[in-house]
Amino acid sequence: MGVFGNIFERKLCDICGKECNIFGGTKLKDGRLCKECVNKLSPRLENLKHLTVDDIRDHLAYREENEEKVKNFNVTHVIGGKGTKLYLDIEKKELIISNENNWRNTNPDVLNFSQIVGNDVDIKENRTELKTKDENGKEVSFDPKQYKYSYNFYIYLDVNTPWFNSIPIKVNGYTVEGFDSYDYDTCYLQTQEMCEILDLLKDDQLDVVDEAIEYYKELENSPRKKYNKTYYANSKRYSRSSDYYEKKDPRKNHYKF
Ligand SMILES: [Zn+2]
C-alpha cells in the first residue's frame, strides 16, 4: 500500500451503509449521510452538523409517518397566488405549505394547526437607479435622481415542531415591478389573506375560514391600482390592526397625502 492508500476509499453512510460521494457525503455530528438519505430529510431541517446519527434515525421515522399523512391529506382549501400556497385539510386540522404543483410527490411536511406559533409579514423593496447619457455618451444620473422599484412578498411563519421552527413563505411568483400596479396590490392582498388565515388557524377560529377566503377572493378579483390614505380602513381584517399592515407596506413611502 502506498502513501495514497486510503484516499480513494469511499466512506460509508451511517444510515444505509451505501458509499458516500468522493467528498465523504454530508457530515453529521458523529457520522455521515449519503445523498440518497439526505434526499429523504425534510428540506426545512437545518444544521445537520449538529445532529447525531440517532437524531437522523428519529427524523427518518417522522418522515415516513409524514408520507402517510400526505397520502391521506384531503385538500379542503387552497390559499395563495403564483408563489407559495397553503393547502388545508380542515377536518384533520392539517396544513401543507408548498410552492410545487406536484407537492404530493415531494413529501412536504404536514403541520397540525396547533403547531402554528405566529407569523410576520416582510415586503422587500429593491431600488435600482435609472441612468441616462450625457452629450458625450457617458452614463449619468437624472436630476433629480430616478429609480425603478421591485418587490418580493414574504411571510415568516413560526412553528413548533421537533425538527424546525420557522418557515419562510414567498407569496409572489415572479418579482413584482413597481408599486402602483394591479400586480402589487394582488400580491399584497394575497399576503394579507395568508397572514390572517394563518392567525385564524392558530386561534382555532375555523368557522371563519370560509368567510375570510370568500372575502379576500372578492378583493383579489378587483385589485386597486391606486393606493390612498383610506386603503387600510377600507378593508376588513380578522385578527390584525390596520396599523400593522400599514407599517409593513412600503407603498406608503411613495405617496404624499
Ligand atoms: Zn444512506
Same-domain status, 127 and 219? yes
> How far away, in angstroms, is 49 Cα from ligand 1 center?
16
Dihedral angle over CA of 94, 100, 102, 106, nearest 10: -70
> How far away, in angstroms, is 32 Cα from ligand 1 center?
8
Give helix 209-221 / helix 182-202 axis angle, nearest 10°: 180
For all residues of the chain together, what is the average pLDDT? 92
Neighbours of ion ligand 1 (CB under 5 A): 13, 15-16, 34, 37
> How far away, in angstroms, is 9 Cα from ligand 1 center?
16
| Spatial contact of 110 and 69, defined as CB atoms under 8 Å apart | yes
Looking at residue 1, its pLDDT comes to 46
37 pLDDT above the threshold of 70: yes
Same-domain status, 151 and 223? yes
Round to whole Å and give the CA distance between 200 and 237.
11
Please name every residue paired with 201 in a beta bridge, in sequence order, or none if there are none.
Answer: none
Same-domain status, 139 and 243? yes
Looking at residue 227, its pLDDT comes to 77
Most confident of 7-21, 31-45, 209-223, 233-247: 31-45
Segment 98-139, tens digit of pLDDT? 999 999 999 999 999 999 999 999 999 999 999 999 999 999
Task: Tell whether 21 is covered by a domain.
Answer: yes
Looking at residue 255, its pLDDT comes to 82
> How far away, in angstroms, is 34 Cα from ligand 1 center?
4
Q: Average pLDDT for residues 24-28, to the nearest whole number?
A: 93
Same-domain status, 238 and 118? yes
Segments forming the whole domain that contains residue 15: 1-72
Looking at residue 180, its pLDDT comes to 87
Domain boundary among 72, 103, 127: 72
16: its cell numbers: 444505509
Task: Tell whether 186 is covered by a domain.
Answer: yes
> How far away, in angstroms, is 108 Cα from ligand 1 center?
20
Task: Tell whether 211 is covered by a domain.
Answer: yes
Same-domain status, 120 and 65? no
Round to whole Å and give the CA distance between 124 and 133.
30
- The pair phi, psi for residue 63, each rounded to 5°, is -65, -35
User: Structure pTM?
Assistant: 0.90
Task: Tell whether 198 is covered by a domain.
Answer: yes
Same-domain status, 50 and 154? no
> How far away, in angstroms, is 41 Cα from ligand 1 center?
11
Number of structural domains the chain divides into? 2
